[in-house]
Amino acid sequence: MTASDKIWTAALIVIGDEILSGRTHDKNIAQVASWLQVQGIRLAEVRVVPDEQDKIVEAVNALRAENDYLFTTGGIGPTHDDITVDAVAEALGVPVVIHPEARAMLERYYKSIDAELNEARLRMARVPEGADLIPNRMSGAPGIRRGNVILMAGVPHITAGMLDALTGKLEGGAPLLTETIGCWTPESEVATLLREVEQAHETCQIGSYPFFRDGKVGANFVIRSTSQEDLKSCVDSLTDGLATHGFDFTPGGI
Amino acid sequence: MTASDKIWTAALIVIGDEILSGRTHDKNIAQVASWLQVQGIRLAEVRVVPDEQDKIVEAVNALRAENDYLFTTGGIGPTHDDITVDAVAEALGVPVVIHPEARAMLERYYKSIDAELNEARLRMARVPEGADLIPNRMSGAPGIRRGNVILMAGVPHITAGMLDALTGKLEGGAPLLTETIGCWTPESEVATLLREVEQAHETCQIGSYPFFRDGKVGANFVIRSTSQEDLKSCVDSLTDGLATHGFDFTPGGI
């Protein structure tokens, strides 16, 4: 494996009782996943944990060791249930400190909207010692990066702004390329072909994603590879096989 | 703690590369979470893992030991990337066998739609030895229960049908009751009050969920307790406090 073959991985911890209660539908898993693809970083695992310090610490320590990057969403606001900074600092074995630049950002922001930087708002300047800030144009409160751990907001449009600020800043590898072939055929008719084509192309994976739409069943077959050439060869084998067996298919997916 | 005070917990493993790639937006976390609330079972953790047997085995063994129930979604279909049954059997240390009743269900189903029970479809009758079936009216392929591990489909409407079949069948405790109070006020204005009210009501938790809507910021405060009486007392303290500080609020949330 050459350096350029390295597969860069990330994990994501979604922090929040509101996701585990079903009250809020998570939108961050999908947006972080899609963003990472473009950075050439593979999302290897996601954990959703409650607002409990020991649970967050455990997940942070398990996942930061196993991956090149660890992202968290949620729990960096001004209220008593926002404990992500404390938990990450505990996991990293460093104290929590007020970041002077974060304090200055918050002072400017609250001055601009004629509000006071009270004690609760000042909580949002707290970081694990040694951390850098990730700008947030939406609300003044920054995201936080310390080593390979990146703390982002839980509110999806603020998370999006922080991802935007990180775009192109994290080292990654070759992006995973994908092609999709759709078929109005039950996946169980095509299962043997899929397995054979995947086995014949060892640098590619084929996922089969069945659906039920307009009263009919079908499936999308997603072929993934970091090599454009291998991907094309695998797609060609699959479409040749589908044609040979008499299955109609739609390049690009259904 | 009396028997009726026991907090029943569940974990969920969402299995699938399609969620980790951002291609598919997960809908099962929220539907499983909401369903569990009604059964009096708390969703304690969710992990999203790829279609890799060792990753699934590791997550199954970590979470089934820590929780009363462990649910999985995804990876029980007919194709080569459907490896959940194999992974769960490995985690439980039992062989994979064909379940005769599952085979009969599939035979009836495919006969009814004039199709053949081919080798790929027969994969859907495979279960970890000793398992029971969970009926699935949608597609003939059943869900699987073995001990405290429950394997469900990944396609959300099929998952929903399996949850339906399980309704009232799992032992749980007192459902967690919630009340929501909405406020068109930045949560950072109310942070001290929230912390004080929560501290004064130790059987209740208060979550604060900020939002940005119609150009204004606000927050919903969700109060949770298993005791109706304690919940009411906590909600009353919070609304009294909001009124005293001159904040408008909306019972039921915004």
A17: nearest CA in chain B?
B207
Pairwise CA distance, residues B86 & B113, whole Å: 28
* Joined tokens for residue B84: 């959940």
In chain B, residues with a C-beta closer than 8 Å to the C-beta of A124 are 188
Q: What is the pLDDT of residue A78?
A: 93
Residue B44 to residues A43, A62, A71, B52, Cα–Cα distance (Å): 22, 17, 20, 23
pLDDT in tens, B10-24: 999 999 999 999 989
Kindly determine whether residue A77 and residue B25, on different chains, have CB atoms separated by under 8 Å.
no
Closest Cβ–Cβ partner in A37, A46, A124 for B47:
A46
B116: nearest CA in chain A?
A189
Q: Which of B79, B122, B222, B223 to mutate to test the interface with A (most CBs of A within 10 A)?
A: B79
List, in order, residues 6 or more apart from A200 with CB less than 8 Å away. A237
Q: What is the pTM of this model?
A: 0.90
In chain A, residues with a C-beta closer than 8 Å to the C-beta of B194 are 79-80
In chain A, residues with a C-beta closer than 8 Å to the C-beta of B210 are 77, 155
Looking at the complex, does the CB of residue B58 fall below 8 Å from at least one CB of chain A? no
List, in order, residues 6 or more apart from A36 with CB less than 8 Å away. A10, A42, A43, B22
* Joined tokens for residue B118: 């081919």
Q: What is the pLDDT of residue B165?
A: 92
Q: What is the pLDDT of residue A141?
A: 83
B211: nearest CA in chain A?
A155
Identify the burial level of A112 via C-beta atoms within 10 angstroms of its C-beta, where 0-12 means exposed, 13-18 middle and 19 or more buried.
exposed
In degrees, rounded to 5, the angle at the alpha carbon of residue B223 between the alpha carbons of residues B222 and B227 is 150
**Contact between B11 and B46 (Cβ < 8 Å):** yes
For chain B, give the percent of residues with pLDDT over 70: 98
Complex ipTM value: 0.89
Q: How many CB pairs under 8 A join A and B?
A: 203
List, in order, residues 6 or more apart from B52 with CB less than 8 Å away. none
pLDDT in tens, A208-230: 998 888 888 899 999 999 899 99
Confidence label for A4 from pLDDT (cuts 50, 70 and 90): low
Interface of B with A in 97-156 (CB under 8 A): 115, 118-121, 123-124, 138, 155
Q: What domains are defined for chain B?
A: 3-166 (3.40.980.10), 177-251 (3.30.70.600)
In chain B, residues with a C-beta closer than 8 Å to the C-beta of A34 are 21-22
Interface of A with B in 168-187 (CB under 8 A): 176, 178, 186-187
List, in order, residues 6 or more apart from A138 with CB less than 8 Å away. A157, A158, A161, B212
In chain B, residues with a C-beta closer than 8 Å to the C-beta of A189 are 118, 120
